[in-house]
Amino acid sequence: MYLKFSTSTLNIFKATSFWQNNKLILREFKHFRFVAISAVFFSALAASCEGFGLGFLLVFLQSLTTPGAEPIKTGIDWFDLLILGINSSATERLFRVSALIVIITCMRALFNYIGNIGIQFSEINLVDNLRKRIFEQLAAQGLSYFSKKSSGELMNTLTNEMERIRQIFGGVAFFTTRLLTVIVYSISLFVLSWQLSMVSVLLFSLLAVGLSTLNKQIRERSFKITKANDHFTSRALEFIEGIRTVHASSTQEFEQQRYNQASGNIVKAWKRVYWVSLLVRPLAESLSTLILITMICVALMTGLMQISSLLTFFFVLFRLVPITQDLNGSIAFLSSQAGAVENIKDLLKTDDKTYFQNGHLQFKGLQRSIDIVAVNFGYEPNNLVLKDITLTIEKGKMIALVGASGGGKTTLADLIARFYEPRDGKIIIDGVNLQKIEVNSLRRKMAIVSQKTFIFNTSIRDNISYGTLAATEAEIIEAARLANALEFIEKLPQGLDTIIGADGIQLSGGQQQRIAIARALVRDPEILILDEPTSALDSITEQVIQELLDKFTIGRTVIVIAHRLSTISKADKVVVLEQGHIVEQGKYQELLDRQGQLWKYHKTQYEMGQA
């Protein structure tokens, strides 16, 4: 159809196929369709101006080369008379068409500017919507999803891969604007000489087939870039999060080697892509130039066209060459980014994920009990962590979970908070299946102090009031005081407003634990889950906090997980878990008198204390 009709046709097919295969991303355009449509519309107007400019160029060249020839007419009488001035002298026609060329060039520049504004706005809107969609996806997943996904992989998707999506959209927009120009040029070439245009179709079809093979290789190699980026981000994040352990273990050199290896893998992956992708443009440029020179020679020898038409034809050809090279470069670039698109697609897909199914009944407070009935649970299909657990937790009572590490104590507490779903059996609250209760209404009346405390990279004030935004200044200070944290907080540069760094790196483990306890106190919960709440505290602070918890737990339903048996001697019921089974339960002293598993733990800890 024109110089690079076949090449561009193949590119159109590829670009169309690219987006058809990524409908999840295309759907985001509905949120800003006006901006996107405007971008396409003004880009099309700019391309149309290119066509008008070529027509005026033909008139201009005729006026220069053959001023005595009959003026070129458009067939629109008023335009030919008033604008082109076909009845005027050759000099006046030359001035008129020169002015028209300047005007149409300015209009094209204006339309290109408006179109580019629309493209850039669409680009940033697309990335913004995708980020929000991904957050919605992550928020809708249960904890089991995150246990199978590395945080580094997810961070890479939200940062590096999202930036690549932005670049992809820019590449597609660039391809589209160039393609519109190519279409206009192609029509012009066909009007000027369909014979030469058909020759170009044949020659560039062969070129297109060769380039498509290279682009396929680029696409296949690009997936290794995404994998390398995932691995690198995971490694870097792991190093930052585990910096204390790294320093304590004197493994800086070891971590440096692993970091360098992960970074080197990215370099290798990109080099493999660049070896091929950077070959596309020079190869296309060389072969295109060869074809163009051959066509010029043929046209001159055969006398196929008038000199003005021939000059216009080859002016368009030479304008078209770099544009079609840009199209091939764009396709090569888009092929190299296929891994990022697949990564985003996989994260946005809904048919391969198990979503958290929230209940609809509002939890208004515990009235009677929490009943765990014949519950089985495992993180992996063939490896149960909890086996046939049946247990009743009465309102206002303290239940202590005791047992060796890995026995299922924390997992059982997580099921009560509905972080995971039982594989078999059910959990009932006041006669209602936990799955029917709106989970946030339950968790708002619950506080959890975990052995591993997470501290946000914000102020101490915000960390204590996290999840209890209505907490007053007085309530925050009182919670900090009760948690034995106010003394060290007041010594910090900005007190409660001190920013304490990612994961609370400025605080000791004990200080972080006291912040977590203060966070629980300020919630004033009905149900309290304590997972080794004093594990990171020194003995003096532990005694102070234990006395506080003894007072704070009065009248509340408490589930406490403890290895130090001295902290649970006042529990209303002690439940001993071994390898996922409840092996005994009852009051602390009763179980000691039976001399069962709890007695063995008690005896071991007493002997260690004596030693």
419 lies in some domain: no
Weakest mean pLDDT among 122-136, 337-351, 469-483, 548-562: 337-351
How far apart CA 77 and CA 193 sit, in angstroms, is 25
pLDDT of residue 213: 75
Instruction: Copy the structure tokens of residue 456.
Output: 């946000």
CATH code for the domain of 224? 1.20.1560.10
DSSP-assigned states of every residue in 523-573: H--SEEEEESTTTTS-HHHHHHHHHHHHHHTTTSEEEEE-SSGGGGTT-SE
Q: Which residue has the higher pLDDT, 74 or 598?
A: 598
Quick one: what percent of the chain has pLDDT higher than 70? 78
- Least-confidence region, from 13-17, 196-200, 234-238, 277-281: 13-17
Choice among 18-22, 69-73, 114-118, 556-560 with the minimum mean pLDDT = 18-22
d(CA 545, CA 361): 36
pLDDT in tens, 41-84: 888 888 777 777 666 666 666 665 666 556 666 666 776 677 76
The DSSP element (H or E) to which 306 belongs, if any, is none
Is residue 193 a part of any domain in this protein? yes
The helix (H) or strand (E) run that includes residue 427 is strand 424-429
pLDDT-based confidence at residue 9 (cuts at 50, 70, 90): very low
For 508, residues 6+ apart whose C-beta sits below 8 A from its C-beta are 536
Residue 346 confidence (pLDDT): 74
Burial class (CB in 10 A: 0-12, 13-18, 19+), 396: middle
CA–CA distance, 517 with 450 (Å, rounded to integer) = 9
Looking at this protein, which amino acid is placed at residue 277? S
Domain of residue 38, residue span: 5-348
Instruction: Report the 10 Å Cβ neighbour count for 392.
Output: 15
Whether 486 is covered by a domain: the verdict is no
- 516 within domain boundaries: no
Higher pLDDT, 579 or 332: 579
Written as six digits, the tokens of 89 are 């002298």
- Whether residue 260 lies inside any domain: the answer is yes
What DSSP string describes 174-229? Answer: HHHHHHHHHHHHHHHHHHH-HHHHHHHHHHHHHHHHHHHHHHHHHHHHHHHHHHHH
For the segment 537-549, the average pLDDT, to the nearest whole number, is: 68
**What pLDDT score was predicted for residue 118?**
83
pLDDT digits (tens, 9 = 90+) for 121-138: 888 888 888 888 888 888
Confidence of residue 162 (pLDDT cuts 50, 70, 90): confident
Strand partners, 398: 558
376 in a structural domain: no
Lowest mean pLDDT among 84-88, 233-237, 598-602: 84-88
**Summary mean pLDDT of the chain:** 78
3-state secondary structure 84-152: CCCCCCHHHHHHHHHHHHHHHHHHHHHHHHHHHHHHHHHHHHHHHHHHHHHHHHHHCECHHHHHHCCHH
Least confident range from 78-82, 230-234, 275-279: namely 78-82
Question: How many CB atoms are located within 10 Å of the residue 77 CB?
Answer: 10
Q: What local confidence, expressed as pLDDT, does residue 25 receive? A: 57
Tens digits of residue pLDDT in 485-510: 888 888 888 888 888 766 566 777 77
Which of 385, 423, 427, 388 has the alpha carbon at shortest distance from 404? Answer: 385
pLDDT at 62: 61
Number of domains within the chain: 1
371 has pLDDT over 90? yes
Task: Report if residue 567 sits inside a domain.
Answer: no
Query: What is the DSSP secondary structure assignment for residue 355, as one 8-state letter?
Result: B
pLDDT reported for residue 252: 80
Overall average pLDDT of the 334-345 stretch: 71
Residue 433: what residue type? N
pLDDT band with cut points at 50, 70 and 90 for residue 172: confident
Residue 540: what pLDDT?
63
Enumerate the β-bridge partners of residue 581: 578
Q: Is residue 85 part of a domain?
A: yes
The string over 500-515, giving b where at least 16 C-beta atoms fall within 10 Å of a residue's C-beta and e elsewhere, is: beebbeebeebbbbbb
